[in-house]
A and B are shown apart, each in its own frame.
Chain A
Amino acid sequence: MTDEYVAAHVQEAIAAGTHELGVRVDVRGGVVVLRGQVAAAGRCAEIEAAARAAAEGFQVRNEVSVVPLEEPAGGETLR
């Protein structure tokens, strides 16, 4: 299948299966590359599983990471 269709189908599968819409899917050099940030580590694994199921025969590189949640060091003063 053409890379662009694979990327589109993986994106659809991630949205439908995990409800994560903020994942960027590209096919680069025959590898499905996933990028973006999610709220929990478990969701990275769910996204990868959905991508693998939708892109059979393709390698998947999962670069999705977890959003950092530290308390802010300071604020911004709006003048």
Chain B
Amino acid sequence: MIRIAAAGDVHLGRETAGTYRPRLEGLPDRADVFLVAGDLTRHGTPEEGRIVAAELRDLGLPVIAVLGNHDHQSGAQDEVAAILADAGIMVLEGTGTVLDVAGTRLGVAGGKGFGGGFAGRCASDFGEREMKDFVGVTKRFAARFGAALDALDCDVKVALTHYSPSADTLEGEPLEIYPFLGSYLIAEPVDAAGAALAVHGHAHAGTEKGATPGGVRVRNVALPVIKQAYAVYELAAV
């Protein structure tokens, strides 16, 4: 059994410093790895990055994170990522990593991702430069993310993004904003890689459980959705 703890949209800031860590004390007993699905901060400043690092460092289990749109707000995303990495938190951005969990090799690939919408109701790579730029960001991410998933030499694969690979887990959000919440382009590589689970955040008013078009389970772990400090998913070991 591989036990995956996950949470997203923690939105830590000066006024919440020190409030999350006490809720994570039981993590090493409940899970083998902690995945954090972006929006670690509120404004994306280095100061907030240091607050997040203090909350998530040395928890007694591997912590793997991706950044979210809030973590990009101040243009300091690279610095925030470096601060987290210095604290021993692995930050994925179109990259992956493999952990040994009691003899089973767990591979996690991920990154922030981006929007665009879902098949039949999505933005097209066409027309104005700005529209091509928007769709292009997601397309380029999907290519790197797919390559990272393929490259994982492991028994069980898990995908970790901030933006959603599925419309299912957006249920509760206004339909009109789905294109700003995720993209089917994120789901395609998840399906192609035969992942066991895809975890994301970003959609605060969404729904926890869904699936990709190919049937891979998707879980929206944004804190306002799971309404607890983290969720735990148990996958069969191979």
Contacts and interface: CB of A to CB of B under 8 A. Distances in A.
Given A39-B16, A78-B197, A72 B205 contact: no
A76 B231 contact: yes
A42 B19 CA distance: 13
A69 B229 contact: yes
B70 interface: yes
Interface residues of A, number: 23
B3 interface: yes
Contact of A67 (B73, B223, B234): B223
A24 interface: yes
A56 interface: no
Contacts of B234: 75-78
Interface stretch (B7-15, B77-85, B100-108): B7-15
A62 interface: no
A75 B11 contact: no
Contacts of B235: 78
A38 B11 contact: yes
B228 A68 contact: yes
B64 to A, nearest CB: 18
21 contacts: A19-B73, A22-B9, A22-B204, A22-B224, A24-B205, A36-B205, A36-B224, A37-B204, A37-B224, A38-B11, A39-B11, A39-B13, A40-B15, A42-B15, A71-B229, A72-B30, A72-B228, A72-B229, A72-B232, A75-B30, A78-B217
User: Which 7 pairs across A and B sit closest by C-beta, in order of nearness?
Assistant: A75-B232, A22-B204, A37-B224, A39-B11, A77-B234, A67-B223, A72-B228
Interface of B: 3, 9-13, 15-16, 19-20, 23, 25-26, 30-31, 42-43, 70, 73, 196-197, 204-205, 217, 223-224, 226-236
Interface of A: 19, 21-22, 24, 36-40, 42-43, 67-72, 74-79
Given A72-B226, A78-B235, 9 more contacts: A19-B70, A37-B204, A39-B42, A69-B19, A69-B229, A72-B228, A75-B232, A76-B231, A77-B234
